Structure 1
Amino acid sequence: MQILLSELERDALTEIVNIGVSRAAASLRRLIGAEVLLSVPSAEVISRQAAAAMIADREQEPLVAVRQDFAGPFSGRALLILPAANGASLVRAVLGDSVDDAEALALQDETLTETGNLVLNNCLGTMANMLRESLTLSLPDLDHGAPAALFASGMRPEEEVAGVVLFLYINFSIRNHDIRGYIAMLMDMPSLAMLQQLIASFISSVMDDTAGSP
């Protein structure tokens, strides 16, 4: 079973996620007290192995990921993946200059987990709301490792080889920090098929609203 999103479906999904990360940016702005810009240029559906290889090709340094499971009409696991140095920059931007390096290091995992939770909650919550559904989210966890290990963390062996990844590149701009990262949503085929149906319904409703406008 193979599921391919049409160009229109990819564009709609990218726009939905961009609204979610914009809301995450607004929340971070209130937390940090400085301008925060987040953007997701594109969304694509690829295999888990291809997603891991793509990140491994781009990133040579260790990675850190905040992960949350989600359940509802479509279920899976969401990851916010950052190069370790970018994660440290994000933590420094959140904590500010009043915290010294030793304290920042001590608070790094906790701060990164909370910040990742904020970003993923906004993305998943916005997706659910705009698709007129609801999702239940787990508490966030933090993992370190290579891309393949991050995708497999906490999964049963039979889950590790199955499923696909909704893969999103994400750009952060916070104060003077330019931070790159990735959002990956790991789903099985039935969940992706349901998501595709919901996106198609969303597109139809938008088109109907547009057609009905004076």
Structure 2
Amino acid sequence: MNVTAEELDALQELINIGVGRAASLLNEMVDSHIRLKIPVVKVLTAADAYKELTTRFHDQTLASVKLRFTGSFHGTASLIFPTDSASTLVAVLTGEDPSADLDAVKIGTLSEIGNIVINGVMGSLSNVLKRHVNYTLPVYLEDTLENLLLSAYESDSKILLAQASFTIERLEIIGDIILIFLVGTFDALIAAMNDEMGIIK
């Protein structure tokens, strides 16, 4: 299914609602003011998403929080950071020295952030579209982009790629929210969005 410009705008609107809610929750957790902004939303195959993200992340190891979801839509949602951005984010949120060995703290903190952001986005999609979605517990991984993306999915899987910009008290931290829908389910998402939001093909 090809996605129209109007459908892409609607997807971006729904994702922005979700990250707005997530930012509000994160602001309640910490003293720092956090803004989450989604400047780019694209629909790509897994292979094309890999090519695009490789130019941003190169071959470095990435930090990823992954949740699987089932129900009206089936797939996986991931929040991906460069590991240095992840360490900086954890340091700002916890007040710990970013150079310290914070493995347990980092995993716990990033898993919670991923849980909040992904649930915010998926909650926005399911609430507006009136569809039920169940989630697994978040899983934290550090691996290459190839292993995080290409090894787990068919090359023609539809990827809803949302590039998230995190601003924390003048500190720019870049991450990507990657929503991965299994083939066939993505069409159900677009059909539900057209139905509930009155988008005319």
CA distance in 1 between partners of 2:34 and 2:98 (Å): 22
TM-score by length of 1: 0.86
**Which secondary structure does the structure 1 equivalent of 2:100 belong to?**
helix
What's the CA shift for 1:77? 0.2
What's the CA shift for 1:188? 2.1
Of the two, which has the highest radius of gyration? 1
Structure 2 partner of 1:137: 135
Structure 1 runs (4+) greater than 6 angstroms displaced: none
CA distance in 2 between partners of 1:68 and 1:100 (Å): 26
CA distance in 2 between partners of 1:129 and 1:15 (Å): 13
Greater Cα offset, 35-44 or 20-29 = 35-44
CA distance in 1 between partners of 2:98 and 2:157 (Å): 43
Structure 2 partner of 1:91: 90
What's the CA shift for 1:18? 0.2
Structure 1 partner of 2:185: 191
CA distance in 1 between partners of 2:10 and 2:141 (Å): 30
In 2, are the aligned partners of 1:162 and 1:188 still within 8 Å (CA)? no
Greater Cα offset, 16-25 or 59-68 = 59-68
Structure 2 partner of 1:71: 70
In 2, are the aligned partners of 1:65 and 1:79 still within 8 Å (CA)? yes
CA distance in 1 between partners of 2:68 and 2:28 (Å): 26
Match of 2:105 among 100, 104, 107: 107
Q: Deviations over 1:104-144 (max 9, x none)?
A: 45411111111111111111111110111121000000111
5+ residue gaps in structure 2?
A: none
CA distance in 2 between partners of 1:100 and 1:196 (Å): 41
Greater Cα offset, 190-199 or 170-179 = 170-179
TM-score by length of 2: 0.91
What's the CA shift for 1:34? 2.2
5+ residue gaps in structure 1?
A: 208-214
Structure 2 partner of 1:14: 12
2:92 partner amino acid: A
1:133 partner amino acid: R
Q: Deviations over 1:154-206 (max 9, x none)?
A: x4xxx44451211111100012321111111111221011001011113218x
Match of 1:163 among 148, 157, 166: 157
State the identity %. 28
In 1, are the aligned partners of 2:78 and 2:179 still within 8 Å (CA)? yes
Structure 2 partner of 1:5: 3
2:180 partner amino acid: L
2:176 partner amino acid: Y
CA distance in 2 between partners of 1:77 and 1:55 (Å): 17
Higher helix share: 1
What's the CA shift for 1:150? 0.6
1:121 partner amino acid: N
Match of 1:52 among 35, 50, 53: 50
Structure 2 partner of 1:212: none
Count matched residues: 199
**Which secondary structure does the structure 2 equivalent of 1:78 belong to?**
strand
Match of 1:179 among 148, 173, 182: 173
